Amino acid sequence: YKAVLSVNLLGMIDVTRTFLPFLKKSRGRIVNVASIAGRLASRAMGPYPVSKYGVEAFSDSLRRAMRCFGVSIHIMEPGIFRTDIYDQERFNRLLDNAWERQSAETRKEYGEEFLQAAK
């Protein structure tokens, strides 16, 4: 989660905060890239929808705060594109690796059926 949140959310917040004083002076605009996954999460996507929901929430909060300065805040929510995030083989490898990192107790608690259903 940390790596995905660092890139998709925290990095975007850092850049926005860095340039916010200039945007307030120029009455500029901010366009953040969210995702439809920020509105509709699936169990298989893990940290990605969490990060994109954070983009949605940050942008909405910022929009309200910057309105009085004349700064407009927008989000784009692209749909699904064929990228590695949707590669089923890659996803299954990641899932298997995550499964193997779990304790024997956790694997027993969830059972092999849980792993296969997730695939």
Set 1, 48, 86, 110: catalytic member: 48
Report the candidate in 62, 56, 47 with the shortest Cα–Cα distance to residue 76. Answer: 56
Helix (H) or strand (E) holding 12: helix 11-26
Q: Does the annotation count 110 as an active-site position?
A: no
- Exposed, middle or buried: residue 16 (CB in 10 Å: 0-12, 13-18, 19+)? middle
Q: In Å, what is the CA distance from 100 to each residue of 1, 33, 36, 82, 87? A: 18, 34, 30, 27, 20
Q: Which residues are catalytic?
A: 48
